[in-house]
Amino acid sequence: MVGLSEGEKHFIRGGIAQDLRTDGRRRLQFRAISVETGVIPQANGSARVRLGATEVIATVKAELGKPSILHPDKGKVSIFVDCSPTAAPMFEGRGSEEFSAELCVALQRCLLGGKSGAGAAIDLSSLIVVDGKVCWDLYIDGLVVSSDGNLLDALAAAIKVALSDTGIPKVNVSLSATTDEEPEVNVSDEEFLQFDTSSVPVIVTLTKVGKHYIVDATSEEESQMSSAVSVSVNRHGQIRGLTKRGGAGLDPSVIFDMISVAKHVSRQFISVLDSETLAAEAAE
């Protein structure tokens, strides 16, 4: 993206101050969102989400692995994000590594919960096959196909839809008489289990421009931001994660205000996303 001129910057900031953005939206209004599921048939679950001109693909792959020593009764979930150079020239070479890592860590913070598993988007205990020996490892991959701002919200929405599209094969275990031996597992080809995604949160990013903050910032608006707060909220209004981005400092009362606004805005966003998901699954 070519840099903005001073006149353009002034226009954007002035518009936001008057609650009228360059594309006609108000400060707390999202761009149109569209959802497709099952776009990658080889994956256990996949989704493509388009938020304005921002487009991301999320896939979920499940593999059998060994539980971690610290939590032998829980499965494992890993999240990776790839910013492809096809999305924006600035993602060429190593330019995207730090940005991908930042998105990846923010998503992990919002979806994986605390170390004890409390607050996680998925009940990790449901991923256990044999305690201490066999569990499902979920690999969640996000791919940025087109970038026009607000990647974090789009990625979180895509992961939520991909998880609702995910089918985990049912596993039958024949335990051997000796407990020390590896159990024999039989992965079913017909039966699949699905996740309860009602508690999977969405991320709402509030971007501060001048004295106001906006949701769903475009690239141009993001270039004018002083800082941003990404809040992860689930359907029940519970906060599951929070990340402040951008370098400028924020007054604590502004942050608390942003949190309550994010909870309010996320209610509508979740209902729109849910209806789009149902429509996409019906069309599949």
Partner 1 sequence: MSAAAAATDGTYSPAAAAGEKRRERKEELRRHLAEDADWPRADGRSFHDCRPAFMQTGPTTAASGSAYAEFGKTKVIVSVFGPRESKKAMLYSDTGRLNCNVSYTTFATPIRGQGMDNKEYSAMLHKALEGAVMLHTFPKTTVDVFALVLESGGSDLPIIISCASLALADAGIMIYDLVTSVSVSCFGKNIIIDPTSDEEAWQDGSIMVAYMPARKEITQLTLTGEWSDGKITNAVELCMDACSKLCDILRERLKDAASLAE
Residues in touch with partner 1 (CB under 8 A): 70, 72, 98, 101-102, 104-105, 109-110, 112-116, 118-119, 132, 179-180, 227, 229, 238-252, 255-256, 259-260
Residue 240 near residue 203 (C-beta atoms within 8 A): no
Length of the chain: 284
| Minimum CB distance to partner 1, residue 104 (Å) | 8
Least CB distance from residue 234 to partner 1, whole Å?
10
Residues 6+ apart with CB under 8 A from 127: 74, 75, 76, 77, 135, 136, 138, 168
CB of 169 to partner 1, least distance (A): 27
Three-class HEC string of 73-109: CCCEEEEEEEECCCCCHHHCCCHHHHHHHHHHHHHHH
131 or 191: whose CB is closer to partner 1? 131
Pick between residue 254 and residue 272 the one whose CB is nearest to partner 1.
Answer: 254
Q: Shortest gap between Cβ of 159 and partner 1 (angstroms)?
A: 16
Q: Which of residues 52 and 113 has its CB atom nearest to partner 1 in the complex?
A: 113
Residue 192 CB, shortest distance to partner 1, in Å, is: 29
Residue 284 CB, shortest distance to partner 1, in Å, is 33
* 98 or 182: CB nearest partner 1: 98
Q: How far is the CB of 282 from partner 1 (least distance, A)?
A: 33
Query: For residues 19 and 73, which CB has a smaller minimum distance to partner 1 in the complex?
Result: 73
CA distance readout (Å), 117 to 73, 121, 152, 159: 11, 9, 22, 19
Nearer to partner 1 (CB atom), residue 41 or residue 89: 89
The Cα–Cα gap between 271 and 217 comes to 20
- Sequence-separated (6 or more) residues with CB below 8 Å from residue 94: none
The residue written with tokens 């094969």 in the block is 169
- For the CB of residue 40, give the shortest distance to partner 1 in the complex, in Å: 27
Take residue 113 and report the two structure tokens written for it.
């919960």
Nearer to partner 1, 8 or 102 (CB): 102
User: Which CB, 9 or 29, lies closer to partner 1?
Assistant: 9
Distance CA 281, CA 146 (A): 23
Helix, strand, or coil here: 76? strand
Q: How far apart are CA 239 and CA 111, in angstroms?
A: 11
Q: Is 159 exposed, middle or buried (0-12, 13-18, 19+ CB in 10 A)?
A: buried
User: Can you tell me the distance from the alpha carbon of 42 to that of 65, in angstroms, rounded to the nearest whole number?
Assistant: 19
CB 63 within 8 A of CB 139: yes
**Strand, helix or coil for residue 93:** coil
